[in-house]
Amino acid sequence: MRGKSLKIFAAVLICLLAAGTCAMLLRRGRLQEYMSGSNSQKDYGEIQEIPGADQMQEPSLNQYPSLSVPTCIRKIGNDYFIADCYNNQIIYSRDLHAPLYEWKILTSDAVQPHTVASDGELILVDDTEQNRVLVFRKADHDQDGETTGGYVCTQIFSQIGTRPHFTVYDENSRSFYVLSSMTGDLYVFKRDKDLIYLDRKMMIDRLKNTYVRSFTIEGDRIWFPSGISLAGEEPVVLCCRLEDLRILEEYPVCEQYAGMIQIQPVGQEYYITVSTDLFGSQDKATMIRTKDLSELAEGTCEDIYADYFAGGGTPYYMGSIDDRWYLTEHRLPDHSLWQFRIAEGQITDVQSLLP
């Protein structure tokens, strides 16, 4: 009988110790899940305390009359999200055409955030100037999917490279990818129930010390636009294998296209936004397209910026939502966001949406 009691006591003690260990890890703000039978662990970053329903506050409204360097627009559920980069906030609205003062703030705790991405439930934001990634989820929503209680920050990942600049969710691999814009590091995050964990980090040596603003995933490949190298490397567009970043193709780029922002395949063509030339001049900012990437070296791509848009600014992010394409730009008043269609190589129905 005594032996049985000791066994029960030992079992209870083990459970209490395990619970205490978990509580200690949570108090430290970093949850690490130790896998049974191994020393492997998952990095969940800093777990944030979630306020109760009675403490939940309504989201704040945007106070800025215009966007300041919008760098991304995406639709998540029924809400449209815009990275209002130089206003240091991510804003959202169910109505894309609503006045800016009616848009709600997802976060204003990020410094120059560039993109927002989601798997449909959890949302990742790159906090560029603080080298962080922030994770959000809906606080509450009604039967129509309208977010009534805003969003809450559930996790924070720190020390994510140098100036994490672009975030994408890839449905095929069920992973989030975040690019450190100055180091060539690509961070891969995965989901574990209601949490995100850092799965691994990959690197391209060719992109180290090169300012690369974005990437585009196309099936099992990932495209990196050319950037300006601090080490004096020649500008180049790289096509890599997604699983390990092995370089499959590379295309030299001329000086005038060197400071690219994004390369977006559409049908048989590539649409490319350019911020600066090799020497950092935004006078060369434009939007080009080509069917043959070898034209990048010759500088003979079709320039479509002034023909279809206002011209004279800096076109930035290009992405599709439903059956339309969107282009953000800056340096021009009253033209921060464009909406248009692309069909059989033709750009039509071009509209300017937000100041």
Residues 275-298 have a mean pLDDT of 96
- Split at pLDDT 50, 70, 90, the class of 355 is confident
Q: Name the average pLDDT for the chain.
A: 88
Measured distance CA(302)–CA(315) in Å, rounded: 15
Specify the pTM.
0.87
Residues 95-116 have a mean pLDDT of 97
pLDDT of amino acid 6: 37
- Split at pLDDT 50, 70, 90, the class of 332 is confident
pLDDT of amino acid 150: 85
Residues 97-105 have a mean pLDDT of 97
Cβ neighbours for 334, distance < 8 A, ≥ 6 positions apart: 352, 355
pLDDT of amino acid 10: 40
Q: With beta carbons less than 8 A apart as the criterion, state whether 126 and 114 touch.
A: yes
Domain ranges within the chain, ordered by starting residue: 31-203
Residues 43-55 have a mean pLDDT of 82
Residues 130-141 have a mean pLDDT of 90
Is the model more confident about 148 or about 233?
233
Q: Which CATH architecture has domain 31-203?
A: 7 Propeller (2.130)
Q: What is the rounded end-to-end Cα distance, in angstroms, of the chain?
A: 79
| Model confidence pLDDT, tens digit, residues 244-272 | 999 999 999 999 999 999 999 999 999 99
Residues 201-211 have a mean pLDDT of 96
Sequence-ordered strand ranges (E) for 54-192: 70-76, 79-84, 89-93, 104-107, 116-118, 123-127, 132-138, 151-157, 164-170, 175-180, 185-192
Give how far Cα 90 sits from Cα of 52, 73, 191, 352, 355, Å.
23, 10, 22, 20, 16
pLDDT of amino acid 9: 36
| Model confidence pLDDT, tens digit, residues 169-178 | 999 999 999 9
Residues 228-250 have a mean pLDDT of 96
Does the pLDDT at position 26 exceed 90? no
